[in-house]
Every structure is written in C-alpha cells, then in structure tokens.
Amino acid sequence: MSSLLTAGLDAEVLRADFPILRQEVNGHPLVYLDNAASTQKPRAVIEAMSGYYERDNANVHRGVHSLSVRATDAFELAREKVAALFGIADSAELIWTRGTTEAINLVAWSWGTANLRPGDEVLLSVMEHHSNLVPWQMLAQRTGAKLRFIDVDDQQRLDLSNLDDLLTERTKLVSIVHVSNALGTINPVREIAARAHAVGALMLVDGAQSAPHLPVDVPSLGCDFYTFSGHKMCGPTGTGGLWGRREVLEAMPPFHGGGDMIEWVELEQSTYAPLPNRLEAGTPHIGGAVGLGAAAEYLAGVGRDAILAHERMLLSYALERMAEIPDLTVYGPRDPAERSGVISFTLGDVHPHDLGTILDAEGIAIRAGHHCAQPLMRRMGVGSTARASFYLYNVPADVDRLMDGLHRARKLFGL
C-alpha cells in the first residue's frame, strides 16, 4: 500500500519535517505509534520556540521596552492562530492552560464550586480519561453534588438509550470525551450538548484527542466549554487551553490570584481584568504558547480533513491486517468511521507491558497499560491493553512493521 496522495496528504514528505523520526531505536528505524499519548514536533514548532528564546524573550503585558512588546505580540498572535484553527471568532474566549487536565480542573474549581449545591448532578461516562473523572469526584466531595454515568455498549460506544432518564432538572453539567484516548471511539457530542441544554445543563467537551485528529469547529459543537492539549497536536508539553462561551467565562470567579489577572488592587480587595487575563494569573508559558501557535499554523497548512482521511486509511489497513492474526482481540467500534486512528488490543494472554517491551526491541513504540481509563478497562473486563495510535507522519510501512512484530511476539510466547 502506497502513501495516500488521494487524501491530499503525503506522509512520506511530511516525515521530513519531524527530526526525531530519523533515528534508530535498538538498532531499528523508529516506528512511533504512541501518538495518543503525545505527538512529535515539526521543525516549524522547534524553530518558533528557539527563535522566541533567542530574540524576544521577555515578560508579556507588563513592559514598554521592545523585547516585551515583541513577546506580547507573539504571545497574543499565537492565541489568535489557535483560535482560528478551531473556528473561534473571539480569541479572548480562549484561555491558556497547561493542557486538558488543567482546563477541566479550572472549570471544576471555578464554575463548579460557584454553581453546584448538594443534590445537583454532573453527568459523565464510564469512557472518561481520569482527567475528566477525578476533578468531578473532588468537586462532588466539596459540594455534595452527585455524579452519574453514561454506560457503553458491546462495541464500546456510548449507550444513549437511557440519556433522557440520566438528564434531569438536577443535571447542571455534562462532561464527555469527544474521542476516547483508550479506544478511538468518536462520541456524538453535538447531540449530547443539545439534549443537555434542553434540561438547562451546560456541556463540557474533553477535546484532548479530537483537537489533533478531527476537523473541529468548536462553536458548531454547541458546547459551553472545550478543552485541549498542545502536546497532542504537534505543540510543546505544558500547553493547551480552555474555550468557553464569553458569558459563562465572565461569570466564573478567577481560578488563581496574582499578577496579570487584576484590574485594580487595594489592601483588602481587588477587581479583576477582562478576559482572557482574569483566568491567566502569573507569568505564562510564553515560549510554549508561541510553539503551540506554530503547531496550529502547521496543522492548518496540512489540512485537518486530509489528516483525518490519512488516519482512517491507516486505521482501515491496520484493522484489516490485524484480522489475520490469531489470538488478537481489538476493542472499540468495528466501523472505522466511528473511530479515530487509535487501536486498543490484546494478544492472547500476553501482558500488554510484555508486548510493548518486545515491540520496543524492534524499534516500535506503542502504549501499554490502562491508558488513564481504569473504569473503562474494568467495564471491558481487562486490566490493560496495548494501544497503537497513528498521526499524520505515519505510513503504511509502519503498520507492516507493527504486524511483523506481533507475529514475532506470537511465536515467542508459543501462541
């Protein structure tokens, strides 16, 4: 199978933009299939960050000297680039965070503490990443609110058959993952948001896995909050963001207090700055924001429709090849149109950690474990899975290498 030019994306050409992919691991050319955990960085991102630190390094919003002005311009231009990637017209609605985890915690602590009371309910699903479970558990403990959960069906899709029973006048917030990091399942968040709003609830979408892989237009999702991580979309670690509807964000008390989020400070009280500053206390990760802006520009240049088509080609090819391997079980929807480029699987009784170690000896990087989704693993009846995940720089030859490695593992374990 050749590189997919019909999708408008030539992965063989794009691979040259990612210096890390040129190396060998354990004497073999690297095959990187751990993209759901973190993606690699193109030279454009590396150079943007290096350029900032070499030429413009200074604090933002606080200085009148040239370096500070240039740093502020680069910082806010990055916000505009990321907002444009997601179809966000008002970039002030985009709050910089360290990633999805901090963004969800921001909503839980700020909006949740201010708005939830005993007896109120937050609706989640058993599919959620721990980052979209633990903050709400902590919130429920603080406020007396109750958590309720949407189940999954036998193909690990959300079971919405009883959604009308789960959504009541007590529901104040629904928080659902857009794309499962453990399975690749794409959830109908637009439908869920509409039904949540019908009972007066707000909707948060965990976009950690959809932001890099789907052509997301955030306003069209109909949600009230959208969260994402920069390192999963070719940007640096420690970056990401929260989008929220302006009227909701403006009503939220600040998450942190300190510099840059204030308007006026007296000894006994303070007033707060307008968005986005009021939710961004302290010196931000300026170089990281610049890098994330470069990543957004890179992904826009490649084309997110092309990225999705390329991943689905790799996904279909991998599922076809995996069907030829005895003792291999694939989890998640059978239809590639219902999932992103993530495949969770088990191979006989081989522990996923052992499988990951064997593949690493061949230079193949996959993930093994519970993928920060322990309730989902228990619901599926497994302790952990192996996970291969694709991105725009993967090629069919990477799938072939993975399959060769799985066949070798079968022989090694006598399957």
Q: What pLDDT shows up at residue 155?
A: 92
- How would DSSP label each residue in 141-186? HHH--EEEEE-B-TTS-B--TTHHHH--TTEEEEEEESB-TTT-BB
Residue 179 in domain: yes
Question: Are 182 and 63 members of one domain?
Answer: yes
pLDDT cut 70: percent of the chain above it: 98
Which of 283, 301, 319 represents a domain boundary (last residue)? 301
- Domain with 148 in it: 46-301
Question: Are 239 and 318 members of one domain?
Answer: no
Cα separation, 380 vs 201, in Å, equals 29
Question: Are 28 and 50 members of one domain?
Answer: no
Q: Tokens 């240049």 belong to which residue?
A: 301
Question: Are 102 and 158 members of one domain?
Answer: yes
- pLDDT of 47-57, one tens digit each? 999 999 999 99
SS3 (DSSP) at 292 = helix
Report residue 62's pLDDT band, with 50, 70 and 90 as the boundaries. confident
Which of 275, 301, 327 represents a domain boundary (last residue)? 301
Which of 23, 21, 184, 206 has its CA nearest to residue 103?
206
Cα separation, 294 vs 368, in Å, equals 30
Question: Are 173 and 294 members of one domain?
Answer: yes
What CATH number has the domain bearing residue 315?
A: 3.90.1150.10
Task: Please work out, in degrees rounded to the nearest 5, the angle formed at the alpha carbon of residue 400 by the alpha carbons of 349 and 311.
Answer: 95
Question: Are 245 and 147 members of one domain?
Answer: yes
Q: Mark whether 234 is an active-site residue.
A: no
- State in Å, rounded, how far the first CA of the chain is from the last one: 28
- pLDDT of 66-116, one tens digit each? 999 999 999 999 999 999 999 999 999 999 999 999 999 999 999 999 999
Which of 236, 267, 301 represents a domain boundary (last residue)? 301
Mean pLDDT of the chain: 96
User: Is the pLDDT assigned to residue 4 strictly greater than 70?
Assistant: no
User: Is the pLDDT assigned to residue 239 strictly greater than 50?
Assistant: yes
Q: Which residues contact 370 (CB under 8 A, 6 or more apart)?
A: 182, 377, 383, 384
What CATH number has the domain bearing residue 199?
A: 3.40.640.10
Question: Are 82 and 202 members of one domain?
Answer: yes
| Tokens of residue 342, six digits | 């993530």
Mean pLDDT of 273-288: 96
205 neighbors 176 (Cβ within 8 angstroms): yes
Mean pLDDT of 371-379: 97
Mean pLDDT of 2-9: 53
Task: Please work out, in degrees rounded to the nearest 5, the angle formed at the alpha carbon of residue 27 by the alpha carbons of 24 and 32.
Answer: 40
- pLDDT of 241-270, one tens digit each? 999 999 999 999 999 999 889 999 999 999
Q: What pLDDT shows up at residue 8?
A: 73
Q: Tokens 């008002």 belong to which residue?
A: 90
Which of 375, 394, 384, 349 has its CA nearest to residue 129?
375
Residue 37 in domain: no
Q: Which residues contact 42 (CB under 8 A, 6 or more apart)?
A: 17, 18, 234, 295, 298
Which of 229, 211, 230, 213 has its CA nearest to residue 221?
211
Residue 41 in domain: no
User: Is the whole model's pTM more than 0.75, yes or no?
Assistant: yes
The sign one gets for the Cα dihedral 223, 227, 232, 236 is: positive
Cα separation, 74 vs 277, in Å, equals 16
Task: Tell me how many domains the chain contains.
Answer: 2
Question: Are 345 and 408 members of one domain?
Answer: yes
Residue 1 in domain: no
Question: Are 274 and 401 members of one domain?
Answer: no
- Residues comprising the chain, all counted: 415
Residue 39 in domain: no
Rounded alpha-carbon distances, angstroms, from residue 244 to 157, 203, 329: 26, 10, 39
242 neighbors 103 (Cβ within 8 angstroms): yes
Question: Are 26 and 136 members of one domain?
Answer: no
Question: Are 249 and 193 members of one domain?
Answer: yes
218 neighbors 206 (Cβ within 8 angstroms): no
Cα dihedral 386, 410, 365, 37, rounded to 10, equals: -10
Q: What pLDDT shows up at residue 29?
A: 98
Report strand pairing: 364-365 vs 31-32. Answer: parallel
Mean pLDDT of 272-281: 95
- pLDDT of 352-362, one tens digit each? 999 999 999 99
Conformation bin of residue 412: beta by default, left when phi > 0, alpha when psi is -120 to 50? alpha
Q: What pLDDT shows up at residue 3?
A: 39
Report residue 415's pLDDT band, with 50, 70 and 90 as the boundaries. confident
User: Is the pLDDT assigned to residue 2 strictly greater than 50?
Assistant: no
Question: Are 277 and 173 members of one domain?
Answer: yes
- pLDDT of 121-161, one tens digit each? 999 999 999 999 999 999 999 999 999 999 999 999 999 99
SS3 (DSSP) at 128 = coil
Report strand pairing: 385-389 vs 367-369. Answer: antiparallel
Q: Cis before residue 276, ω within 30 degrees of 0? A: yes
Which of 183, 197, 232, 190 has its CA nearest to residue 211?
232
Residue 2 in domain: no
Of the residues 299, 372, 380, 388, which is catalytic? 372
